[in-house]
Amino acid sequence: MSRSFHGELDYVFGQRMLAMRTGIGLTQEGLATLLGITRKAIGRWETGETYPKASHLQALLALALQHGVFPAGQEEEEIRAFWRAAHQKVLLDERWLQELLSRPSPTPTQTASEPSSAAGQDSAVATEKIALWTVPFARNPHFTGRDELLEQLMQQLTPPASDQPTTLHRAALTQAQVIKGLGGIGKTQTAVEYAYRARELGRYTHTLWIAAASEETILTSFVTLAAQLPAFASAAETDQRKLVAAVIRWLEQCQEPWLLIMDNADDLSLAQPYLPLKGNGSVLLTTRASAVGWLASSLEVDVMGVMEGTELLLRRALRFASATDEEINEATNLTVALAQFPLALDQAGAYIEETGCGIADYQELYQTHRGALLARRGMQATQYPASVATTWSLSFQYVQEANPAAAELLRLCAFLAPDHIPEELLTGGAPYWPPLLQQAVTDRFRFNQMLEILMAFSLVKRQTSDRLLSTHRLVQAVQMEGLSPEEQRQWAQRIVSSVNAIFPADPTDPVAAWPQCQRYLEQVQVCDLLIRDHQLFLPEAAQILERAGIYLFEQALYANAEKLYQQALYVLTQQGPPEPLSEARILHRLARLYYWQDKLAQAEALFQQARHLREAYLEPEHLDIAESLHDIAGLYTTQANYTEAEPLYLQALRIREQQLGSEHLQVAELLNNLAVLYTSMPGMHTKAEPLYLRAQHIWEQQYGPEHPMIAFILQNRAWFYGKQGRYREAEPLYQQALRIREHHLGPEHRNVAIILSGLALLYEKQGRYREAEPLYLRTLHIREQQLGVEHATLAPPLDGLANVYTAQGRFTEAESLYQRALCICEQQLGAEHLETARVLHDFAGFHQTRGQIGEAAVLYQRALTIRETMLSPAHPETNETRDRLHEVLVALGQVPETMPTGA
């Protein structure tokens, strides 16, 4: 398709703009940054889609004239021709054009290789027109991301205006900036990219690169720089230090803006004497050192974001343009496996390119050949030739020689969860460390010395306020690869023993121990992996898994707790014939966990198994037997098997009062649960209230009025009063319990949802539907987020919300909720469960309200059958369903109206 006439003119004009930009030496991004617009806008100008604003076009013309883009002697003719073409679309100011053309023509910039015409003058004057560029690296075509970091550098290293003082104060180098981080994290590449972007923007006349790994390389770099300056090229000075001093003086006197980059200045004390004290310039240093505040402000280079890292990997592997969705997913997985570390991603990309293997193939190889791949750099690594392993090897060697205990500490950290390593774990675990490290961690001064040397190479970071350390996962990987399998097993065993020693064990107040448990939880998860990987069938291994399982259970993280309990039981059995009481204890904990998940059949089997073990090896009055009796009674209460539950509770209460006294916390727990039993038993509610009050008194005496356990008893008392119709007494107890739990557990905790559901039901019973609805909705939200959309605990709030909607006449919404609640009950609890009966009863009432008598009768009959079997024929709930069924059967004409109920 041919362009229209006007379209052709627009295209030609765009091409002329493209030629002008490239003649200046700017990329689209560079010009966009200068003009304060988007790169996309530049692209649309150059394809003729749009025209620039007058101010933008004027700025571009001024830059073109300044950089000598137009042929010498033809500047005015070229500019006027361009001006006339643009004036068709852009309203331009003729006065501005006259002013531009009246400026003196620029003198072409003299290169460093041309002879100086100012011999004998001051060196600063003699080289005023020389543009120096000594960056030793080509621009990295695979450079990816780091935009925020580069933008910060642009802001921090803004060249000073001509009217600003040029003194660089040693105490606060306002134009000096340090970028710091672990070796291979991308500091040098970021500095190189900044230099190229700054050149595109015309920020500096001179950009100078000094290799600062040692004093020898610093001197060599300055001497090489001096050879490129005409003022020094012919000098006969042989003293390197004097020559370097002269170059530094030249920088201090130079009137043109300059950028001095000192790369790999890991020992900043070596670099400091070579920094200019004043001048019209900026200083950028890269270093692995962590403590740099004494010299300049700093920016830390960290690992890349997942998407950034994925893009870098694909670009380096030359797969970016052609990557399928599957390859992008594989690259994302590999990026995460390589801990988003730039050098490792570059190495992986190089390997994939050079061998032609797939991304998923590389990740599979990485699992079995991690050490070899981290040590392999590839054939085309010209800008950063060292591999990850090589990059850190000198640092490791220096640490080993300077402070052997610090080297052991680094190896220790290699086996821990890397992001949050509690310092007290290192010091409190001292008995399990090798002798040299054991001595160092118990001496605070020596402990700080170890961290000082590790931080000097950014091998660890320290969060002083939280007393936590962190290290990079690949540092851990390289450290592990340097150890034999036997050494790895020794370290793993030490870690498991130390974490077990420091993790809270059976605290008097479990809630008070929660923060400490949470602090060590990541390390327990690492212990779980170490136990599996190294087959550490130790008593300490089973203990730490069980203890952490208890904490996770208390946090209602049942799936995670179950895994640890199961693994603890497995470890216990692998030690030989399991010690019966330890086995019984873990079985009991598993049973309790299943009970709280409504897996009652599994729970009962394990409860009974644990009980039989305890009764076989313990005296009848032992507290562990009381625990078994207590929890089995709780299970029977849930199953409405009240006649079997009561004697078990009473027997357990007798043992605990005899062994512990009448005011013990375990006695209070039992009193509370016995009260729950009496609340549920028909005709026994008068026994419940004094038990609730006695339990609350004991808990308040031990914990105080704001403890989470107080919320538990308040919730149960409120439920009790609600069942009695004592709504005014129940409501403030629910509200107080809710406030306590939200304070301690947060608004999204599962135990908060229990109170919300109870309070919603209370409002529902009172006809306060507008207040009940948001509470039911919030309960559903918490349980769906925490447990999934099919969990059994969703049935009660779904049913309750359906009841609210039915009362409000919102029948369509109500019906779908009843159906969902019934489906969950039948699938998760079974067709004969009491919760299923409750939903059936309420759903039948919905149909009865709408005049759908036949449907109501079927559902009432199903509910009645369940309640007669699971409760008793005379239970109040059974009688309620029977009465409702009779009503609808009378309406259907199937029974006489005077048929006696309860028959």
User: pLDDT tens digit string along 673-687?
Assistant: 999 999 998 889 899
CA distance 32 to 27: 8
Does residue 522 belong to any structural domain of this protein? no
- pLDDT category, 668, cuts 50, 70, 90? very high
Q: Same structural domain for residues 95 and 134?
A: no
Mean pLDDT check: name the lowest of 199-208, 376-385, 873-882: 376-385
Edge-to-edge order in the sheet of strand 281-287: 206-211, 258-263, 281-287, 176-180, 297-300
Residue 829 contacts residue 790 (beta carbons within 8 Å)? no
Residue-wise DSSP of 470-513? E--HHHHHHHHHTS-HHHHHHHHHHHHHHHHHHS--S-SSHHHH
428 has a pLDDT exceeding 70 = yes
What tokens appear for 738 in the block? Answer: 């809710």
Residues 6+ apart with CB under 8 A from 230: 112, 115, 116, 119, 126, 127, 130
pTM of the model: 0.68
416 has a pLDDT exceeding 60 = yes
More confidently predicted of 372 and 799: 799
Render pLDDT for 266-307 as a digit per residue (tens, 0 to 9). 888 888 888 998 888 899 999 988 888 777 888 888 888 899
Domain membership of residue 275 as a residue range: 123-160+167-300
Residue 316 contacts residue 380 (beta carbons within 8 Å)? no
Render pLDDT for 744-781 as a digit per residue (tens, 0 to 9). 888 998 889 999 999 999 999 999 999 999 999 999 99
Q: Same structural domain for residues 266 and 221?
A: yes
CA distance 612 to 625: 9
Q: Which of 337, 369, 385 is the last residue of a domain?
A: 385
Average pLDDT, the chain: 85
The number of distinct structural domains making up the chain is: 3
What is the greatest pairwise CA distance in the chain? Answer: 128
Does residue 268 belong to any structural domain of this protein? yes
Quickly count: other Cβ atoms within 10 Å of residue 884's Cβ.
Answer: 20
876 has a pLDDT exceeding 60 = yes
Render pLDDT for 446-494 as a digit per residue (tens, 0 to 9). 999 999 999 888 899 888 888 999 998 888 988 998 899 999 999 999 9
- pLDDT category, 90, cuts 50, 70, 90? low
CA distance 168 to 846: 82
pLDDT on residue 597: 85
CA atoms within 13 A on the CB side of 391: 29
Q: Same structural domain for residues 204 and 186?
A: yes
Does residue 364 belong to any structural domain of this protein? yes
Choose among 780, 714, 786, 774: nearest CA to 750: 786
Does residue 349 belong to any structural domain of this protein? yes
Q: Same structural domain for residues 65 and 86?
A: yes
Q: For 725, left (φ over 0), alpha (ψ -120 to 50), or beta?
A: left
CATH label of the domain that carries residue 219: 3.40.50.300
More confidently predicted of 356 and 80: 356
pLDDT on residue 696: 95
The C-alpha angle with vertex 621 and arms to 618 and 627, in degrees rounded to 5, equals 80
Does residue 238 belong to any structural domain of this protein? yes
Distances (CA, A) of 187 to 198, 212, 700: 16, 13, 58
111 has a pLDDT exceeding 60 = no
Distances (CA, A) of 860 to 573, 838, 847, 851: 50, 10, 10, 14
Q: Same structural domain for residues 83 and 31?
A: yes
Distances (CA, A) of 250 to 211, 276, 521: 19, 9, 58
Does residue 257 belong to any structural domain of this protein? yes
CA distance 65 to 24: 9
pLDDT on residue 134: 87
CA distance 502 to 520: 9
795 has a pLDDT exceeding 70 = yes
Percentage of residues in the chain having pLDDT higher than 70: 88
Q: Which of 342, 357, 385 is the last residue of a domain?
A: 385
CA distance 459 to 395: 9
CA distance 279 to 247: 12
pLDDT on residue 738: 96
More confidently predicted of 849 and 76: 849
Residue 489 contacts residue 534 (beta carbons within 8 Å)? yes
Q: Same structural domain for residues 217 and 194?
A: yes
Q: Which of 250, 284, 300 is the last residue of a domain?
A: 300
pLDDT on residue 577: 82
pLDDT on residue 293: 78
Does residue 212 belong to any structural domain of this protein? yes
Residue 308 contacts residue 145 (beta carbons within 8 Å)? yes
117 has a pLDDT exceeding 70 = no
Residue 31 contacts residue 21 (beta carbons within 8 Å)? yes
- pLDDT category, 52, cuts 50, 70, 90? confident
Render pLDDT for 684-727 as a digit per residue (tens, 0 to 9). 989 999 999 999 999 999 989 998 889 999 999 999 999 999 99
Render pLDDT for 611-627 as a digit per residue (tens, 0 to 9). 999 999 999 999 999 99
What tokens appear for 627 in the block? Answer: 């625990």
| SS3 category, 260 | strand
CA atoms within 13 A on the CB side of 65: 23
578 burial type by CB count under 10 A (0-12 exposed, 13-18 middle, 19+ buried): middle
Q: Same structural domain for residues 241 and 330?
A: no
Residue-wise DSSP of 38-79? -HHHHHHHHTTS----HHHHHHHHHHHHHTT-SPTT-HHHHH
Q: Same structural domain for residues 285 and 214?
A: yes
571 has a pLDDT exceeding 90 = yes
CA distance 450 to 455: 9
Task: Compute the average pLDDT of residues 75-94.
Answer: 69
Q: Same structural domain for residues 100 and 137?
A: no
pLDDT on residue 384: 59
| SS3 category, 289 | coil
403 has a pLDDT exceeding 90 = yes
Which run of H or E residues covers position 211? Answer: strand 206-211
Q: For 237, left (φ over 0), alpha (ψ -120 to 50), or beta?
A: beta
Does residue 621 belong to any structural domain of this protein? no
pLDDT on residue 91: 63
- pLDDT category, 888, cuts 50, 70, 90? very high
Q: Same structural domain for residues 199 and 249?
A: yes
CATH label of the domain that carries residue 97: 1.10.260.40
CA distance 163 to 118: 26
Q: Same structural domain for residues 152 and 240?
A: yes
Q: Same structural domain for residues 211 and 332?
A: no
Phi and psi dihedrals of 664, rounded to 5?
Answer: -80, 155
- pLDDT category, 378, cuts 50, 70, 90? low
